[in-house]
């Protein structure tokens, strides 16, 4: 053995020693800090000190406070719908397939509005117009045009409501996309309502149809817009307290229900939706929002206008189509926004099934392609127990990044939050989704009578209390056991809520209040016809028809299918 051999060994020892010391230091220096302090998560609502017998106390968002005023609009300038298209913001962005600036959008709305008054004979404060359109720029322009002239629009949460609405609340005019026109004419013909109808058609108009249904006035949307551009009509300026839309939906027992929304109810919904993400990650014009919620619903409308207000790119998923909707909210559905010339999505307003579809596929892919999957899962999981999640760890680089790219394509690098609502998100699906996606997954409770979110979980709240198996297999069937409760966080900034029919003795005894959920606030509309007679409004309170439980920290859980586990 030579002297240099010793030297080599010594070097190696030193290097190993240094590496060991380095790792030790790294581990201690970089021990993840909880993204949000657990004390904040311990008190998420402001709870009134007193409560009425048989009712829970009132709950409000902690940020709003019991004495605070609700932020009924994003800024004081946004009084009515058109104000959400900020005139001072002039960067173009893409809405579905159209690259457009705010001034162009405003001008198109003015032109169409003028055309609808001049050429279609609609009358401010007299007419009302049913929108039978897929989510599209035409929907948005029509909506803005009607709202600016104080002509309320009607929307249907699903096409099944069309026949009962035509029969019971015939509108003065209908804006319909051309592919649905034949069915619409057939329906009008059958319901003997043809005399009153003016129909404005988006897309190509088949001249044969005009002849077949003589009593119906068929006009082209394009022509209305063009006519209006030549002869402008002064808008009939609405006030924030005026009703701008009536949104029809099926009530909890399946009957026809409707809610009227004022301009203020919608600007409030936009203000609530903006507050879903932490200030540090607020929505900005650099974002691309993608939504799986139809503009024909109060929530979907608020999301679309949030995108308009923030100047982001925006498109909707195929499952949100009102007409010819064969799509379910699945993994494939998330990718349908790729069909639009928008940048890769950054924020997805989807459904729980979108989240589960994505995370199941990512975990399955990761498991298939990396032997480190189990180890990686355990490390990410232990981070979550510390309240910490990142997409930038070693384990992401080694295991999850590739799987995300395989499943999400470009979106793997760009999507920075998923907001899930519309169905219960099963508790057991949440942690796997956080590991798979490693971005905020916000669980939201919405209601057809409320624009914007009602309840929403804290985006950085990673707390999980039920036992989670450390390394679950990555298939949906054996992992996501059905549960009845999903925590949806505290009321959002424009909501106050209470539970009715609570057991006083149990609540005095310290149990969580459980009862019928009622909500009130600037983003809550006015119920017009309710399917069950006993559901009456009471000083702006609306019965959601859902049962809920409220936890000590002011977060709510909704019972799905009317059964609440005690």
Ligand X SMILES: *[C@@H]1O[C@H](CO)[C@@H](O)[C@H](O)[C@H]1NC(C)=O
Could you list the residues that contact ligand X (CB under 6 A)? 41-42, 134, 136, 138, 158, 177, 190-192, 202-203, 240-241, 262, 264-265, 294, 296, 318-322, 325, 327-329, 457-458, 461, 463, 465, 487, 489, 520-522, 524, 540, 551-553, 555
Beta pairing partners, 516: 500, 547
Least Å distance between CB 509 and ligand X?
17
Q: Is the Cβ of residue 83 or residue 138 nearer to ligand X in the bound state?
A: 138
Q: Is the Cβ of residue 294 or residue 421 nearer to ligand X in the bound state?
A: 294
Least Å distance between CB 540 and ligand X?
4
Listed in sequence order, the residues at least 6 apart from 333 whose beta carbon sits closer than 8 Å to its beta carbon are 292, 317, 318, 319, 327, 354, 357
Q: Is the Cβ of residue 162 or residue 363 nearer to ligand X in the bound state?
A: 162
Per DSSP, 169 falls in state S
Sheet holding 256-262, edge to edge: 217-220, 198-202, 173-177, 129-132, 153-156, 243-250, 256-262, 526-529
Q: Is the Cβ of residue 117 or residue 444 nearer to ligand X in the bound state?
A: 444
Q: Whole-angstrom Cα distance, residue 527 to residue 520?
A: 12
Q: Is the Cβ of residue 128 or residue 457 nearer to ligand X in the bound state?
A: 457
Q: DSSP readout, 17-32?
A: HHHHHHHHHHHHHTPP
Least Å distance between CB 67 and ligand X?
17
Least Å distance between CB 479 and ligand X?
19
Q: CB pairs under 8 A, 24+ apart, for 280-283?
A: 281/416, 281/417, 281/440, 281/459, 283/310, 283/312, 283/347
Q: Whole-angstrom Cα distance, residue 271 to residue 487?
A: 22
Q: Is the Cβ of residue 376 or residue 444 nearer to ligand X in the bound state?
A: 444
Q: Is the Cβ of residue 412 or residue 522 nearer to ligand X in the bound state?
A: 522
Through-space distance between the first and last CA atoms of the chain, rounded to whole angstroms = 76
Least Å distance between CB 79 and ligand X?
10
Helix (H) or strand (E) holding 309: helix 298-310
Least Å distance between CB 323 and ligand X?
7
**Range 176-190 burial, b when 16+ CB lie within 10 A, else e:** bbeebbeebbeebee
Q: Is the Cβ of residue 412 or residue 524 nearer to ligand X in the bound state?
A: 524
Least Å distance between CB 513 and ligand X?
14
Q: Is the Cβ of residue 320 or residue 497 nearer to ligand X in the bound state?
A: 320
Structural contact between residues 423 and 403, judged by C-beta atoms closer than 8 angstroms = no
Structural contact between residues 460 and 527, judged by C-beta atoms closer than 8 angstroms = no
CA nearest to 283, candidates 459, 147, 447, 61: 459
Least Å distance between CB 169 and ligand X?
15
Least Å distance between CB 289 and ligand X?
16
| Paired tokens of 445 | 């409770």
The residue with its CB nearest to ligand X is: 134
Listed in sequence order, the residues at least 6 apart from 248 whose beta carbon sits closer than 8 Å to its beta carbon are 154, 155, 156, 157, 161, 165, 256, 257, 258
């Amino acid at each position: 053995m030579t002297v240099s051999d010793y030297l080599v060994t010594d070097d190696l020892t030193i290097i190993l020693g240094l590496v060991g010391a380095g790792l030790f230091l790294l581990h201690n220096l970089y021990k993840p800090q909880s993204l949000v302090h657990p004390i904040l998560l311990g008190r998420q609502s402001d709870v009134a000190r007193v409560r009425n017998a048989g009712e829970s106390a009132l709950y409000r968002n902690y940020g709003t406070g019991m004495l605070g005023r609700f932020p009924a609009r994003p800024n004081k300038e946004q009084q009515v719908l058109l104000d959400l298209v900020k005139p001072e913001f002039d960067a173009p962005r893409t809405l579905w397939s159209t690259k457009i600036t705010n001034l162009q959008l405003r001008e198109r709305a003015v032109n169409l509005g003028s055309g609808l008054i001049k050429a279609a004979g609609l009358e401010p404060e007299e007419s009302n117009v049913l929108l039978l359109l897929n989510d599209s720029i035409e929907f948005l322009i029509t909506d803005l045009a009607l709202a600016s002239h104080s002509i309320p629009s009607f929307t249907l949460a699903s096409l099944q409501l069309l026949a009962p609405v035509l029969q019971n609340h015939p509108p003065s005019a209908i804006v319909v996309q051309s592919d649905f026109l034949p069915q619409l004419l057939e329906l009008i013909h059958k319901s003997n309502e043809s005399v009153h109808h003016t129909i404005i058609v988006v897309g190509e108009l088949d001249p044969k149809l005009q002849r077949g249904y003589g009593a119906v006035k068929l006009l082209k949307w394009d022509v209305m817009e063009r006519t209006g551009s030549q002869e402008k009509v002064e808008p009939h300026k609405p006030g924030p307290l005026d009703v701008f839309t009536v949104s029809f939906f099926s009530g909890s027992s399946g009957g026809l229900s409707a809610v009227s929304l004022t301009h203020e109810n919608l600007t409030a919904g936009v203000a609530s939706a903006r507050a879903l993400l932490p200030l540090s990650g607020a929505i900005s014009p650099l974002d691309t929002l993608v939504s799986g919620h139809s503009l024909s619903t109060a929530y979907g409308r608020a999301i679309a206008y949030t995108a308009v207000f923030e100047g982001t790119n925006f498109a909707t998923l195929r499952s949100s189509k009102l007409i010819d909707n064969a799509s379910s909210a699945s993994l494939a559905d998330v990718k349908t926004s790729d069909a639009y010339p928008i940048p890769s999505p950054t924020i997805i307003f989807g459904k729980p099934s979108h989240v589960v579809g994505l995370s199941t596929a990512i975990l399955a892919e990761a498991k298939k392609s990396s032997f480190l999957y189990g180890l990686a899962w355990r490390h990410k999981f232990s981070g979550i127990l510390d309240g910490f999640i990142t997409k930038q760890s070693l384990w992401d680089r080694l295991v999850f990044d590739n799987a995300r790219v395989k499943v999400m394509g470009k979106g793997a690098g760009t999507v920075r939050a998923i907001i899930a609502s519309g169905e219960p998100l099963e508790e057991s699906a949440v942690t796997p989704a956080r590991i798979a996606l490693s971005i905020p997954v916000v669980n939201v409770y919405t209601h057809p009578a409320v624009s914007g979110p009602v309840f929403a979980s804290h985006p950085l709240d990673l707390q999980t209390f039920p036992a989670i198996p450390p390394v679950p297999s990555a298939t949906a069937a054996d992992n996501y056991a059905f549960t009845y409760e999903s925590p949806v966080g505290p009321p959002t900034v424009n909501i106050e809520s209470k539970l009715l029919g609570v057991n006083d003795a149990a609540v005095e005894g310290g149990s969580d209040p459980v009862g019928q959920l009622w909500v009130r606030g600037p983003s809550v509309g006015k119920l017009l016809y309710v399917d069950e007679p006993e559901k009456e409004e009471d000083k702006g309170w609306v019965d959601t028809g859902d049962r809920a439980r409220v936890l000590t920290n002011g977060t709510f859980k909704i019972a799905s299918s009317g059964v609440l586990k005690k």
